[in-house]
Structures are given as C-alpha cells and as structure tokens.
Structure 1
Amino acid sequence: MAEKYDQSSPSLEGDEILGGPRGEGRYHDTDVFGHEENHDIRYKTLSWQLVAVLMIAEIVSNGMLSLPSSLAVVGLVPGVILIVFLGVFGLFTSWILIQFKLRHPEVHNMGDAGLILFGPIGREVLSFGTIVFAVFATGGQLLAGQIALGSLSNSKLCLMLYTGIFAIPTLICALPRTLDRLSWLSIPSVFSILIAGIVGMIGAGVSFPIANVAVTVNTSFVTAFISITNPVFAYAGHFMFFILISEMKHPRDAMKAAWVLQTFATTFYVVFAIVLYVYVGNSVASPAFSSLPDKWQKAAYGIAIPNFLIAGSLYSHTAAKLMFVRFFRKSEHLYTNTVLGWSVWIFLIFLMNAAAFVLAVGVPIFNYLIGIAASLFASWYTYGLAGAFWLYDTWVDKGGMPALKRHWPMTGLSVATLAAGAFICVAGTYVTIKQIVDAYKANTVSAPFSC
C-alpha cells in the first residue's frame, strides 16, 4: 500500500503540509519522484504558469466546439448558466484535489488516490479508468484532426488516412519523458485554439445575420441531458491533475494554475458558445466550425490543428506515464537514461497511440464510446471523487464523525459532490447507450475501417 504521509499537526492548509513557504522540506521525502538532485531525468521542473498552459491545452480543445449546439437544445440562458456553474464547480473540485495531493505526496495519479481511499481494488479500477479515458480522449483528438484535415483538403482522401496522418505527429509529440518538454509545445497549442475560436466567431458574425434564438427550450430529459454532457465533459481534465502537480517545482502553487484554467476556460466557453449560437442559430452543428462557410471553416480548423495535436499527445502521454511510473517507481529506470527505461517508455507511447488510432477508425460507434467512458470515469475524476477525498482526509486527520459534524458545510458540499458525480455517471451512461440503440435502429452506423 502507498506510504501514508505523516504529519505532526494535521491540517488541510498547504503551507503546513509542505513544511515551508515554497513547498520544500518534508513533502519531497515521500514525493513520488523523491529528491532529484542526482538524477539524470528530473521531473519536478514545472512552474505553475506552465502547468496552467498544460491544463488549458488539455481541457480547452475540441470539446468547446459542441457547446453552441448545447445552447440550441436547452436555450441561451440555461446553457450559459450551466457552463458558468460547471466552471465554478470545477474550480471547487480542483481545490479539493490539490489539497489531497499536498497531503499525500506519494499520489501520482488517480490510481494511487484510489489505493488510499479504497485499497488495492480501488487502485486498479481508477488506474484502468484513467488509461481508458486517456486513450479514448486521444482517439477523440485524432478524429478532430481527421475532420480538420478533411475540411482543408475537401475530403480528397479516405478519412481513415487523415486519421493515420494525424496520429503520427501526435505520437512523436508525446515522446518526451517529462511534461516540461510538452509544456513548451502547449504554448502555441493554447494560442491556436484561442485564435481559432476568435476566427470562428468573426466568421459567424460576418457570414450570418443575428438568428432568432430561444431564451429557454422545452425538451425531453434524454435530449436535454445529451446536450448537458457537452459542457460537463468540456471541463473533464481533472484526471490529469495529480500527474501534472507531481512534476511541479512548487506544488503549493498548483491552485494558481487552476484559477487561470477555470477563469480562461469558463470565459472563453461562454463567449464562444453565445456568439456561435446567436449568429448561426438552432442549426449550429457540432463541431461548431462545421457550420461556418467554407473559407471560414478551413481557416478555423487549420488554426486549431496544433491544439488538437498537442491535446492528443498530452492524453496519450498521461496514459503511458501512469503505467511507466507504476512499473518503475523507485527504480533507476524511472530517472536514469537506461536502455530498458527508454525502450519501455517508447513502447508505451506507441501502444497508447496505436490503441487510440485503432479504436477511432475501427469502431463505428467510437464517438458514443467516448461518451460512455466520460460518463463512467470523467464524471468521478472531475466531480464526484473530490467529495470522497475531502471526507477521507477530514475523517482520518481531524477526528472522524465529530470533525465531519464540526465542518458541516464542507461535509454537505462533499456529499453533494459525490451525488453529482453519481448522477452524471448513471444518466450520462444511460443516454449514451440509448443513442447507440437509436443509431443502430436508424441504420446510421458505418462499417469498421470505412472511409
């Protein structure tokens, strides 16, 4: 079982946990990467600014392109309220995850957290879920790249070939062993999705008159929840937070990165969704760029390609990193340039990207499977499990049930967070399965490996 971090005076405050004003001291004694002074490969090199860039590059990606269509289904006001609420909720759960990581430096990923909360079975389930979701998310980025390349070339090639073409640079960019190297690639990635979104909004503004938009829309639960899952999963990046914080120079600064992420993401999501919906109207497509006239569509997709590529690389890197650290934790192969270490690392990166490619082109219902994976795992990683983390630490370190009663507002919020994760998980899985059934009934499912 993972080593439990020992504190002489239990507290939920980061400064006390880390034993110093800059996050050094006792934290590194039990940290997953330990003291790195004499290591060939040093992981703990990220500043909070670069972590913010990595978070934005990972989360603010092709998921935002589905938000305008969500407004078309539920209406302008409910849609905007939902996006803002989920952004604030995501910031709250980010704070809990960061506090949990500071209290448990040995936690590198959700699997390690599962070991602390639920024992060996919890570790395997949460590790498996992280890998599955990361691979599926990589596949989703490959499909986004496929759509972008197809738009730029007027679909002159088989779509499967576009996916393969896009998979190669995605694999190459995932190869660096440390996230510090990927963080510098993430800077142009963030600029690309920001500029692409601005170009898309300009294209909508100059190409369409203001549409007749609905403030609210009456719709069925299934239809509404399908659209609600779009903003829910547009924030689904928390499963990477432990891995990102593990490679920070000063982990106590992680909350600064979370503030930047959620402020940027929520503001950008709201503005982008409103502008595209107001100009394109109820016919807005998902992804939204596909609703634009040809020249604007090409411009937006072309500019967004670096973001799709780097986001896919970050996801596959995450899946490979989880397994690599699991294999070689406290081994020289983790931090030394050994033949075995590099061979295993390259193999894992290839395996994760190959799996994402095969799933993306070989499974006709892959888009629906992404929804199921997000419902089963991201609902817990981004929302539900945060409640369990706070309840566990308060129970263990502050005195059990009396402590939970004493901190009853946070106890109530934590229980509500668990309930929200459970609701999103069950309802999201149900509506996605219903979509699959309806697609087969309507005979709209293509053959595997088709163009």
Structure 2
Amino acid sequence: IAFPGIHNFADAGLFFFGRWAKEVSEAAQIILLVFIMSAHILTFSIMMNVLTNHGTCTIVFTVVGMVVSMILCIPRTMKNVALMSIASCLSIATAIFIAMIGIGVDPPAGAHAYAVTPSSQTSFRTGVVAVANILVSFCSNIAYFGFISEMRQPRDFPKALAMLQTCTCSLYIVVAVVIYRFAGTDVKSPAIGSASPIIRKVAYGIAIPTIVVAGVIYAHVATKNVYVRIWRKTNVMNEKSFRSLGSWYGLTILLWVVAWVIANAIPVFSQLLGLLGSLFCTWFSMILPAAWWIMMNKKQLTMNWKKTALTIVNVTIALIGLVLCGLGVWGSAVDISQNSGSASAFSCGDNS
C-alpha cells in the first residue's frame, strides 16, 4: 500500500536490495510457485486414486489434473480466480471437518498420540522436515502483492489479512490437534487419508474445488509474474491480440508441464512438501519479510521500547528461518534419498 509500484516479491527485492535481489527473488518465486502447483497435481492424483479405487494409472490422473488446471488458468485477471476461491474455501472447510469428525468417530486401529513424542520413535531430522511441512501452510503471502494490486480499495487489505490469519490459524490448530489426538503419530499426508475408506472418499470428493482452484491461484500468480516481466514496458498486456493471448496461454502450458514433471519425479507428498517448505517457504514466509521490516525501519530500530522489541522479534524470525532452511534442505534430501524405493518416479502405482 505504501509502495504501489511493487507488484510481487521481485519488485520488493529490487526496492530494498537492488537489481540482483530482484533477479534472485523472481527466479525463486517462480520456482516456488511451480513446486506448489506440482503439489496440487500430486494431491489431485491421490484424490482420484481414492475416489476410483485406483481405477487407472496414476500418471493418467496427474495428466488429467494438469489439463483441468490449465483450462482454469485461461483468464488473465484474478476476477474469476476470486470467485473460484469462494467455492474452494467452502469445500476445504467442509472436507476437513468431515474428515476430522470421521477420524474422531472411527480412529485408525493402533493409533498412539503423545504430548511429546518419545525420542525412540522420531529423530532430529524427522522433526526438522515436519516443521518444514508446516511452513508451506504459511507461504500464501507470495500472492499478496498480486491481490493488493487488483483490489478496488487496497487499503482494505489489512482487514482482509487479519480475518484470514485469524480464521486459518484457528482452523489449523483445531484440526491438527483433533486429528493427531485420534490418528496418532502415523497420521497420513494429506491427513484426510487417515479417515475410514468411505469418509475418505466423501472428504476428497468435497475437496475437489480446493485441490484444483488453490493450485490454479498459484499458477495464475506465477504466469502473471513472467507475463508482466515480458511485456512490462509495452501495451501488450492491455491488448487481446495473438501475441498477448498466445504468450499467456504458452506460459500457462509451460509452467503446468514443468509442475507435472516435478509431481511425477517426487511422488511422495510429504517429501515434496518438506523440500518445498525448507528451500523456499523459509525465505518467503520468514527471512525476507523480517529483513524488509528491518530495512523499512533501519533509522528507528531502537527509537523506543516497542521498536526495540519488534527489532528483536524480526531478527529472531530471520535467524530461525536461516537455520530451518539449512537443516530442512538437509533433512528433506536425506528423506528423499532413504525412501526412494517406497515410490518410484513416474509410476502407475497407487499413491493414496
């Protein structure tokens, strides 16, 4: 809001740190978004395997998910995306409550939940990867700049953000605690998979809009970032010409194909999320926002006790992010290496 010329993380990097930061931020943001798109393709294949009892090759399901997502990415503005998001929000809320209640009524056999997991049943590496998985849920801030730039009243964004964080954090905590209490340490990823077969099918069926639309939102942001980069100094973005529409469609197809390849190359959902969270979400959710706050307030970091406290908080957040990035990448790499035999790349096998 204070800097209307900033449309994405790359613009913010340029504003605060210079040209090199813009290039690095832009590349990292695109890679992150494509990885998130791949996670949604993978989730789509899991959903289809559950609903059809593994009716066909999993690769076919990933192709279907990719094509459906491509079609929904055709509009160039976020107006239609915003409308789809309403259905997405309602569907995931309904699905997780059905799964949560179902798991509570009919919990998995032999489930054990601990307030503190015994060291004999976990490891430092497993804990780090688990934290990295959680960070993915807080990485939606990469889309904030794009939404703000298209709002009629950008100054309403803080109110929308406050409501979003209040609702999502409350939902995360309640759902996580309840499902963990009944599903125990062997809870599946995604957690809906811990429900009974019938409940799992019902929940996945209701979650279809979210599984598709959420990926489309990230794809739209990724495509638009590249699109704006290509045509920023021209009037092409306001045209309906062949090069304007053709370049948008071409970028959409390219990014979804890359996401499809990643989804099939890393076919275990939790491993993909762990790598995604540690490599990218630590930077976009923790390190960069904290660094920007420090840069914006560099002349008044210790002006009063409130500024001093906020300075300490932001420095701490940045340091924690750096540590989680390094340890998370290590943990995820080892995890993928050690479990490479559990699910092979480009496999037709059931991944549900």
Question: Is the TM-score greater than 0.5?
Answer: yes
Match of 1:252 in 2: 155
Amino acid at match of 1:241: Y
SS state at 2:339 partner: helix
Q: Deviations over 1:352-408 (max 9, x none)?
A: 11111122124557863553333222111111111111121223xxxx3xx222132
Name the CA distance, whole Å, in 1 between partners of 2:268 and 2:55. 23
Q: Give the 5 Å matches for 1:232-381.
A: 232-363=135-266, 368-381=271-284
Q: Which residue of 1 aligns with 2:310?
A: 410
User: Does the CA-based 8 Å contact 1:372-1:429 persist in structure 2?
Assistant: yes
In the TM superposition, residue 279 of structure 1 has moved relative to its aligned partner by: 2.0
Partner residue, 2:2? 103
| 1:327 maps to amino acid | I
**CA distance change for structure 1 residues 193 and 369 in 2, over 3 Å: closer, same or farther?**
closer
Unmatched 5+ stretches in structure 1: 1-101
Contact 1:386 1:417 in 2 (8 A): no
Look up the match of 1:175.
74
Superposed counterparts of 1:410-449, under 5 Å: 410-440=310-340, 443-449=341-347
In structure 2, relative to structure 1, the CA distance for the partners of 1:284 and 1:367 (3 Å cut) is closer
- Indicate conservation of the 8 Å contact 1:385/1:421, yes or no: no
Unmatched segments (≥5 aa) in structure 2: none
TM-score (ref. length: structure 2)? 0.91
Higher RCO (CA-CA < 8 Å; seq separation 6+): 2
Which moved further from structure 2: 353-362 or 311-320? 353-362
Deviates further, 179-188 or 325-334: 325-334
Structure 1 residue 212: Cα displacement: 5.1
Deviation at 1:240, TM superposition (A): 1.3
Matched, 1:197 2:96: yes
Q: 3-state DSSP class of the match of 1:155?
A: coil
Q: Is the 2:107–2:183 Cα contact (8 Å) retained in structure 1?
A: yes
Q: Cα distance 1:408–1:429, how it changes in 2: closer, same or farther (>3 A)?
A: same
Task: Mark the CA change 1:350 to 1:295 in structure 2 (over 3 Å): closer, same or farther.
Answer: same
- What CA deviation, in whole Å up to 9, does each residue of 1:137-179 have, x standing for no partner? 0010011010111100000200010111111111111221111
Identify the match of residue 114 of structure 2 among 204, 211, 214.
214
How far 1:232 moved relative to its partner? 2.0
Instruction: Give me the CA root mean square deviation.
Output: 2.0
**Residue aligning to 1:127:** 26
Matched, 1:228 2:115: no
TM-score, normalised via structure 1 length = 0.72
Q: Which moved more, 1:186-195 or 1:422-431?
A: 422-431
Letter in 2 for 1:142: I
Q: What CA deviation, in whole Å up to 9, does each residue of 1:391-426 have, x standing for no partner?
A: 21223xxxx3xx222132222222122212212211
Residue identity in the other structure for 2:302: K
CA displacement, residues 292-317 of structure 1 (integer Å, 9 cap, x when unaligned): 11111100111111101001111111
**What is the distance in 2 between the residues matched to 1:370 and 1:433?**
12
